[in-house]
């Protein structure tokens, strides 16, 4: 029977994570014949050796160690100080060090060498995110002819931002080695196709670089989703109710405005708090009627730009508290730690306004989770950035430009004063969209597209013909729980 091999930067751990890929994959493959490979999270003195296998929550997981130098180049350097800011259109925050790319490719080569011996002819390989763009190329070099898919959880950059990335021509060639590239939104599909159509800049030698051949690569949007039934159930669980009751006792009659994000400069947290400051500044009558809670667990705090974002946010929060706090009322609460899913669901359910206002985001599953957790008889209002992938599927949210603090402040005011009938009507449309894009449909649609057609053996050769469609039925059904609770 065909197996599914999932490859990501990190493998599941046994501790609570703040969000992202690690949280999303932890509930996957528990009852299915599949493998999950990634970095173990440990450092070694020498280059990666054999894969160390263990079972985590019923999933067979294989991890490899990497050296500290390779970690700095591959993860902290090229992945998160070049690719992440460039893909999020923050070239002003990118740093370029030539040796980072060497480490990035070296770790991808190590991944391929560790994984290849464990790949069987009928396996389907699903590679995740920007850390592993070259992995298909490295596997092909080792003779792997299996179907290989790639899914990008973050936005794809515009051509100008792409061309600012060192070795972007090699990265585009790497992408062309995949059978299927999945992206979060149609805007990302358009950006990748535009990049393919653009002429790459010439090198110092004046020679035109050859364009990669994407003729055998399918490119499509597969908007990731959540498990709305699970969140609806969590929102009324004992843990959620306990959290909600604690907040109600603290807030009294104040309406809650809630944000839940990793502490990342792409999330627009300083702009969000400044928008709340504008709301209080322009609407004095609301000052004792509302309270903002921002949950922001630290993320990648070994990187200077993330520490700078944290310091900026600290200063803005302090300013808002100093301007508006009273002895018997505080305008906001800012918490720098992660909470369990049940506690978050309780917060989502009681929040009159859900603020999801990243400056740029792949999808943002917090928007999905907030909608799924609402009380149908008294739902809150989603205020959503136009620059999140979720904006394409949630037109009934109050969509804002997060760079425009006045517009975001006005959206909060409108949300707080929205009549119940309109809140219900908007929520019903949002809930329908959440259910249409639930996680199992995302996994099914992606893996069905990755599967070859039933007659592919005779028509398309080894890259598409070795895995029969009927065998993949069991493979892609195994991904129904993938990316269950988290936001990339």
Catalytic residue positions?
Answer: 153, 361
Which phi and psi (to 5°) does residue 422 adopt?
Answer: -70, -40
How many residues in the chain? Answer: 488
Supply 111's token pair. 């991944």
Full strand arrangement of the beta sheet holding 34-44: 52-56, 59-67, 34-44, 4-10, 124-128, 148-151, 180-183, 218-221
Which phi and psi (to 5°) does residue 300 adopt?
Answer: 50, 45
Do the Cβ atoms of 116 and 191 come closer than 8 Å?
Answer: no
Question: Mapped to the 3 state alphabet, what secondary structure does the chain carry?
Answer: CCCEEEEEEECCCCCCCCCCHHHHHCCCCCCCCEEEEEEEEEEECCCCCCCEEEEECCEEEEEEEEEHHHHHHHHHHHHHHHHHHHHCCCHHHCCCCHHHHHHHHHHHHHHHHHHHHHCCCCCEEEEECHHHCCHHHHHHHCCCCCCEEEECCCCCCCHHHHHCCCCHHHHHHHHCCCCEEEECCHHHHHHHHHHHHCCCCCCCCCCCCCCCCCCCCEEEECCCCCCHHHHHHHCCCHHHHHHHHHHHHHHCCCEEEEEECCECHHHCHHHHHHHHHHHHHHCHHHCCCEEEEEECCECCCCCHHHHHHHHHHHHHHHHHHHHHCECCECCEEEECCCCCHHHHHHHHHHCCEEEECCCCECCCHHHHHHHHCCCCCCCCEEEEECCEHHHHCCCCCEEECCCCHHHHHHHHHHHHHCCHHHHHHHHHHHHHHHHHCCHHHHHHHHHHHHCCCCCHHHHCCHHHHCCCHHHHHHHHHCCCCCCCCCCC
């Amino acid at each position: 029977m065909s197996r599914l091999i999932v490859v990501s930067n990190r493998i599941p751990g046994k501790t609570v994570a703040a969000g992202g890929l690690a949280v999303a994959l932890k509930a996957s493959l528990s009852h299915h014949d599949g493998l999950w490979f990634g970095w173990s999270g440990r450092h070694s003195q020498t280059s990666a050796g054999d894969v160390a296998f263990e079972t985590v929550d019923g999933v067979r997981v294989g991890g490899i160690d990497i050296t500290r130098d390779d970690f700095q180049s591959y993860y902290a350097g090229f992945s998160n100080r070049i690719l992440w800011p460039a893909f999020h259109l923050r070239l002003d925050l990118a740093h370029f060090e030539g040796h980072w790319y060497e480490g990035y490719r070296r770790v991808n080569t190590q991944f391929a060498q560790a994984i290849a011996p464990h790949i069987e002819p009928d396996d389907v390989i699903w590679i995740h995110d920007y850390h592993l763009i070259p992995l298909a190329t490295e596997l092909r070099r080792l003779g792997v002819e299996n179907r290989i898919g790639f899914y990008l959880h973050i936005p794809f950059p515009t051509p100008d931002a792409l061309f600012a990335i060192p070795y972007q021509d090699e990265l585009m060639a790497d992408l062309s080695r995949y059978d299927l590239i999945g992206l979060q939104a149609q805007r990302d599909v358009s950006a990748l196709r535009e990049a393919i159509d653009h002429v790459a800049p010439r090198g110092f030698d004046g020679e035109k670089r050859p364009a990669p051949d994407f003729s055998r690569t399918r490119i499509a949007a597969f908007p990731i989703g959540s498990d709305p039934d699970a969140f609806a159930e969590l929102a009324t669980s004992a843990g959620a109710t306990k959290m909600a009751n604690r907040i109600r006792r603290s807030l009294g009659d104040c309406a809650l405005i809630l944000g839940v994000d990793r502490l990342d400069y792409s999330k627009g947290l300083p702009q969000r708090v400044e928008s709340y400051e504008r709301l209080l500044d322009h609407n004095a009558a609301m000052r004792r009627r509302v309270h903002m809670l921002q949950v922001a667990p630290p993320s990648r705090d070994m990187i200077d730009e993330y520490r700078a974002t944290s310091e900026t946010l600290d200063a803005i929060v302090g300013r808002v508290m100093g301007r508006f706090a009273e002895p018997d009322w505080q305008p906001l609460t800012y918490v720098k730690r992660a909470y369990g899913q049940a506690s978050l669901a309780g917060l989502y359910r009681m929040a009159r306004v859900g603020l999801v206002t990243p400056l740029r985001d792949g999808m943002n599953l917090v928007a999905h989770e907030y909608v799924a957790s609402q009380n149908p008889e008294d739902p809150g209002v989603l205020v959503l950035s136009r620059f999140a992938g979720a904006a394409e599927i949630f037109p009934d949210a109050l969509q804002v430009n997060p760079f425009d603090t006045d517009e975001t402040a006005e959206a909060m005011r409108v949300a707080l004063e929205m009549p119940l009938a309109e809140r219900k009507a908007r929520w019903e449309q949002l809930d329908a969209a959440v259910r249409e894009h639930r996680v199992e449909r995302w996994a099914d649609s992606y893996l069905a597209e990755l599967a070859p057609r039933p007659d592919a053996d005779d028509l398309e050769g080894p890259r598409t013909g070795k895995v029969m469609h009927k065998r993949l039925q069991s493979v892609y059904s195994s991904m129904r729980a993938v990316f269950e609770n988290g936001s990339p």
